[in-house]
Structures are given as C-alpha cells and as structure tokens.
Structure 1
Amino acid sequence: MDKYVNLIKLSVGTENVEDLADWHRTKRAQTTDGLPRHVTRMWPKREAEILNGGSIYWVIKGLIQCRQRILRLDEVIGQDGIRRCAIVLEPELHRTQSAIKRPFQGWRYLPPGDAPPDLPKGRKTEEVLPPELNRALAEIGVL
C-alpha cells in the first residue's frame, strides 16, 4: 500500500503549463524563501501522507497536465484573520500524460494509482499538441 497521497487542483486562469510557471515566479505566489506556493482555505487532514512524497497535480483547461512535489504546508493568516494553508511546492513542474478531469471546487486527494504518469524526459522538448487534439487523444485513452 502507498504511504503517500497526492492532491489535485484546478489551475484557474492559466492557459498552459508555461502560464502556471510564470505565475509561480511572481512574488505574490511565493513564500518568503522564494518557493512557489498555493494558498487554500482548507487544511488537509491527511497532512502526514501528503508530506511523505505527495505532489499536487494541476488541471489546466480540463486536463491534468503537470505536477509539482509538495514540500511543506505553512500556516497563513489572512488580513481577515482566517487561518489558511499555503501548499509550498518544489519549483520544478513535471509534465504528465494528459488526463481529462471535470471541473470541481477546491482540491481533492489523488491516490498514487490514479495519478497520470510523468512524461519521459525527452517529451518535454517535443512540440506541444494543439489542445483539441490533446483532449481528443486523452478521451480515447491514447495519451
């Protein structure tokens, strides 16, 4: 049995993996030590499992397209006094095989067995398929 669990989250407002990488380079999306983070309202109950090797899988335009390793969870208190969770991430984005994912709110747990595999290292430099073709191939299980 796996001793870790992943998270899955919609990357709202991004068009592609490069947009997500650009956002993570902004000061607003970084911790004080310069690591990318995503601030969320809910604190994961399965924190120990997430921190035992979990990643966050990003859904962009209806497809899981990449993941980032989760390094830690930091407490953030907003200007409204509400406690939030900053999911602190490894800077490197790992592209994954595309997998269709319907919209959902917040984040969800993603068991390792349900997570799409990373693309081979050489695939990072290949030309990206048009989104429509990528989605069609994912729908029939080719990607």
Structure 2
Amino acid sequence: MTLHLTKVAVGCSSLEILQDRIAANAVDGTAAIRTRYRPTRAAEMAGGSLYWIIAHRLVARQAILGFEEAEGGRCIIRVDARLVPVRARPKRAHQGWRYLDGKDAPEDFDSDDADLSAMPKAMVDELSALALI
C-alpha cells in the first residue's frame, strides 16, 4: 500500500491561501517543500502524496515527485504544484511531517462531486468543517 505524508499548512487559514503560496513559489509545475530530515521510508512513497492540514483537517494533497538533498543535511520534497482537494477529514496538528498510510488517506473530490466553486465560500467552509465534503 502507498505511503503518504501529512504536513500543517502553517499560516494558511484557507485552501485558497495555500494555493496562492504554492503558485507563487512553483517552477515548471513543481514546488519544493524544505524540511529538516529526509523520510526514512521515502522509497515506500512512490505514487504517494503530501496531504495538507488546515484548521485541524486534511483538506488537499499534492503528488510527491521525489526527494533531493539540500545543503546542511536538509531535504527537499518535490511535489506537483497542483493542489487536489480531498474530502475533509479531521487530523490533529503536529510539527514537521508525519506518515499517513494509504488506507487512512481521504478520497479526492471526483467528477461526481458538485462544483465547489459555484457554492458560497462560507457554505463550503461550513460543510468542510463538518466533514461533509
């Protein structure tokens, strides 16, 4: 089963703010997440994703493209710049990143889901807070 990571979107109170932050730093369709340590289980993350936590909920993911060494022994996690909204699921905040088993990962919104952009933001936020979307 695929292994994923979770990370708190520090300073982001909404998915839109996270999208703007990622877009501002993306180069050629990829983004770099700097972290202190390389995950020891990186080999198990082929096909995995980085799931973002906002307001104690998993709300979106980015496909993990690979890992690179950075200066000072740090690690860069290369991810797809495209954020994929997921069905919100409660998740406690934590420092750094944590592993997430594939069986515990929330589902993506699919084409059968209503177009969220047509809904008022306050309604989307409330439904998401209730883990209904």
Q: State the number of aligned residues.
A: 129
Gaps of 5+ in 1: none
C-alpha RMSD of the superposition? 1.9
Gaps of 5+ in 2: none
1:121 shift after superposition: 3.0
Counterparts of residues 71-86 of structure 1 (less than 5 Å): 71-77=65-71, 82-86=72-76
1:70 aligns with 2:60: no
1:59 aligns with 2:53: yes
Identity of aligned residues (%): 36
Contact 2:59 2:87 in 1 (8 A): yes
What secondary structure sits across from 2:65 in the alignment?
strand
- Pick the aligned partner of 1:114 from 104, 111, 118: 104
Q: Could you tell me the TM-score, scaled by structure 1's length?
A: 0.80
Counterparts of residues 1-143 of structure 1 (less than 5 Å): 2=1, 4-26=2-24, 29-30=25-26, 35-50=30-45, 52-77=46-71, 82-121=72-111, 123=113, 125-126=115-116, 127=119, 128=121, 129-135=123-129, 137-138=130-131, 142-143=132-133
**Segments of 4+ in structure 1 off by > 6 A?**
none
Contact 1:95 1:124 in 2 (8 A): no
1:5 shift after superposition: 0.5
Aligned-partner Cα distance in 1 for 2:7–2:35: 10
Q: Could you tell me the TM-score, scaled by structure 2's length?
A: 0.86
